[in-house]
Amino acid sequence: MKQFTIPFTYRSQFISSIKEKRKAEDKMKKDFTPTLLNFGSLEIYLARHFGFCYGVENAIEIAFKTIEENAGKRIFLLSEMIHNPSVNKDLLNLGVQFLQDTSGNPLFPFETLTKDDVVIIPAFGTTLEIESKLIALGISIEKYNTTCPFVEKVWNRSEQIANKDYSVIIHGKPTHEETRATFSHAAKNAPSLVLNDMREAEILSQFILGREPIENFYTVFAGRYSEGFDAEKHLYKIGVVNQTTMLASDTQAIADFLKTTMIERYGLNDSNVQERFAETRDTLCYATNDNQSAVYGLLQQEADLAIVVGGYNSSNTSHLVELCEEKLPTYYIDHPDRIISKETITHFNFHNKIELSTTNYLPNKQPIRIIMTSGASCPDALVEKAIEKIAGYFISEEEVKAYLQSL
C-alpha cells in the first residue's frame, strides 16, 4: 500500500514498530489478537488494527502539501478535514479556514470566494450541489479533492446498481458529511433513501410488504428520500450501500433483513432474488472492517476497562466505543489530556453528547488490565501519549520510555 508523507508529529515510532512487526507476522490479516504492553502492575492491550487509514493519510498529505504550495493564497476547507480535533486545529493554525461546519451550516459566505482561492474537499467528499457551486465560481475542485477512494467506491457502486434500475438505500447517519455526499451522488442516478439503523429498516419493510399505508412513508422518512421518490414504484427493486464508517455488522444485518423482505414480498428465492435485490457487500470499507474486527479480538481478552481515543464527532470511533461498551466500562477520550490523574478521567458519552468526569475509573487491583484502540482519524502519537500517561502512574517516566523504545 502507498506510503504517505504526513507530519512526523502524528507518528509514533514504537506504535509504527509494533504495526510493522504484526503486519510481517500476519500478512493475510487473520490474527486479531491484541498486542500486550506489560508495565508490571498495569497491562495495556493494544488492538491489532487502529489509527489512521488510507483515506485519512491521503487527505492529510494532500492538505499539508496544498498549504505548502499555495503560500499567500486564501485556503479553505469545505468542513473539517477529518473528525479529529488535533489535526483540524493544526490546519486552522496554518491559516486554513472552514467554509461550513460538520452539519453543512455556512461559516464563510461562498459568494465571496474567487477563482484564485483554494478549496480543499475533505475525505468525506461533498455533494454535487456544492461541487457545481464551486465550479461556477471558477474554482478547481479536482486538484485539491481529498475524497477517500473507498467513499468513491460506494458512489460508483451506487451508480452501477442505479443503471440496473435499482433504487439505492443508504445506511448512514443522515446528517453526517459522508452520508450527505453519498446521498447526493446516488440521487443523481436513482431514487435514493437514507436509513439510520435497523429500526428504520424494519419500518421500511412494513411499507414494502404493504402492511402500512404507503402515504405514511413520506411523513416517516421526511427529509430522507430523493426528489420525486415514489414509494409505490421505487421500492420494488433495491440495493443497500453504506456510509463507510458505520458498523459493518449493522450494514450487513440491514441488507440481509431487506433482502429477506424482498423475498417474502415477491415470492423469490436465493437463485432469483437479484431480480429485486442487488448484492452490494463490497461497499464495506476495509479499514472499518479491520478496526472493528480488531475490537472483537480485544474483547476476547480479560480486562477491567477500555479506553478509546478519537474525535468526539468521529462516526467510526463511536462505533468502536459502542462495541467496547457491550462488555466493559469504556472511556471515550479525544486527547490524552482527558486523563486527568490516576483517580479521574474526563470522557465523552456519545449517546447523549455530553462530557463526563469519572473518579476511581482504575480498579484497586493488580494487575490492572486495559484494552485500548483508536479511531481511523486519530494520530498514533495521541495513543502513545495516552499510554505514557497511564503507565506513568505505575512506573517512572524514564522506565515507561525505555520500555516503549525496546519494542
pLDDT in tens, 111-124: 999 999 999 999 99
User: Which of 43, 8, 4, 28 lies closest to 372, judged by CA?
Assistant: 43
The CA distance from 53 to 147, in Å, is: 13
Chain position carrying cell 516503549: 404
Residues 6+ apart with CB under 8 A from 352: none
User: Which of 318, 312, 351, 319 lies closest to 334, judged by CA?
Assistant: 312
Average pLDDT (317-343) is 97
pTM of the shown model: 0.92
Q: What angle do CA 249, 253, 257 make, to 5 degrees?
A: 175
pLDDT at 287: 84
pLDDT at 279: 85
pLDDT at 3: 82
What phi and psi values does residue 175 have, to the nearest 5 degrees?
-95, -5
The CA distance from 108 to 13, in Å, is: 39
Q: Judge whether 99 and 110 are in contact, CB under 8 Å.
A: yes
Q: Strands 354-359 and 97-98, how do they pair?
A: unpaired
**DSSP helix/strand/coil, 397:** helix
The CA distance from 294 to 226, in Å, is: 36
- Whether the per-residue pLDDT at 2 is higher than 80: the answer is no
Q: Strands 167-171 and 368-374, how do they pair?
A: unpaired
Q: Where are the beta strands (DSSP E) in 247-353?
A: 277-278, 305-309, 330-333, 344-349
Residues 6+ apart with CB under 8 A from 121: 78, 141, 144, 145, 146, 147
Q: Judge whether 323 and 292 are in contact, CB under 8 Å.
A: yes
Least confident of 102-116, 219-233, 372-386: 102-116
Q: Judge whether 58 and 123 are in contact, CB under 8 Å.
A: yes
The CA distance from 111 to 124, in Å, is: 23
With 0-12 / 13-18 / 19 or more C-beta atoms within 10 angstroms meaning exposed / middle / buried, residue 49 is buried
Chain position carrying cell 504550495: 69
80 catalytic per annotation:
no
- Whether the per-residue pLDDT at 282 is higher than 80: the answer is no
Least confident of 231-240, 244-253, 260-269, 388-397: 244-253
User: Which of 325, 296, 307 lies closest to 385, judged by CA?
Assistant: 307
Q: How many CB atoms lie within 10 A of CB 21?
A: 12
Average pLDDT (49-63) is 94
pLDDT at 1: 62
The CA distance from 179 to 124, in Å, is: 8
pLDDT at 283: 73
pLDDT tier at 219, thresholds 50, 70, 90: very high
- In the chain, the percentage of residues whose pLDDT exceeds 90 is 91
pLDDT at 308: 98
- Whether the per-residue pLDDT at 280 is higher than 90: the answer is no
pLDDT at 11: 96
Mean pLDDT estimate for the chain: 95
Least confident of 55-59, 79-83, 223-227: 79-83
The CA distance from 130 to 178, in Å, is: 13
pLDDT tier at 281, thresholds 50, 70, 90: confident
Handedness of CA 19, 25, 26, 32 (dihedral sign): negative
pLDDT tier at 81, thresholds 50, 70, 90: confident
Average pLDDT (49-61) is 94
Cell of 197: 439503523
Phi-psi region of 95 (alpha: psi -120 to 50; beta: other; left: phi over 0): left
pLDDT at 382: 98
Model confidence pLDDT, tens digit, residues 146-177: 999 999 999 999 999 999 999 999 999 999 99
Average pLDDT (46-70) is 95
- 43, 177, 178, 384: the catalytic one is 178
According to DSSP, the residues that pair with 357 across neighbouring strands are 346
Q: Judge whether 186 and 134 are in contact, CB under 8 Å.
A: no
Phi-psi region of 189 (alpha: psi -120 to 50; beta: other; left: phi over 0): alpha
- Whether the per-residue pLDDT at 367 is higher than 80: the answer is yes
The CA distance from 337 to 223, in Å, is: 39
Q: How many CA atoms lie within 13 A of 164 on its CB side?
A: 16
